[in-house]
Amino acid sequence: MKVILMQDVPKLGIKYQMISVKPGFFRNFLLPRGFAQVATKKLLEKGREIEAMLTKKRDEEKANAVSIFNIINAKSLKVSMKLNSKGKLYSKVSKEIVIDQLKAQHDQNVAPDKLKFNQNIKETGSFDLIINLGHDQVAQMKINVEGIEE
């Protein structure tokens, strides 16, 4: 039975994709939850239009990810933070601080969920940062944390 998905369904397909499923699966699972509808000519036309639009959007997102990757991969990021009397940082280096420094030093906007630290950064030194930009683009950077004494 040919159906069109009305939303993304994990391990099955993406929104407006036409798939073949068994009638019982459609009747008992997909239809009651609003995940799919029977493939009609009108839905197929609408699905093709939207699929073309989504493909264009994905291509733009991939081009953006590749562009950011080419700019920031294997570069370093300098972060200056205040030290306490024992020579330790007052607070850890947060994702917000890294995002601000990426914007200031490399003029790139990266979402917080894309950043991954190998460890909590609570002292000065050099640390690794992994940035998963999506579309198989994973950039690696060094964060150089410097202390500012008051």
CATH number at residue 6: 3.40.5.10
Q: What pLDDT score was predicted for residue 149?
A: 79
Q: What pLDDT score was predicted for residue 32?
A: 96
Non-local CB neighbours of 17 within 8 Å, separated by 6+ positions:
4, 5, 47, 51
**Average pLDDT score, the chain:** 90
Q: Residue 86's domain spans which residues?
A: 73-148
What is the per-residue burial (b if ≥16 Cβ within 10 Å, else e) of 5-41? bbeebeeebeebbbbebeeeebeeebeeeebbeebee
Q: What pLDDT score was predicted for residue 86?
A: 83
Q: Tens digit of pLDDT for each residue in 101-148?
A: 999 999 989 999 999 988 888 889 999 999 998 888 899 999 999 988
Residue 84 clears pLDDT 90, i.e. is over it = no
Rounded to two decimals, the pTM is 0.70
- In the listed set 11, 35, 69, which residue is the last one of a domain according to the structure? 69
Token readout for 105 is 């030093």
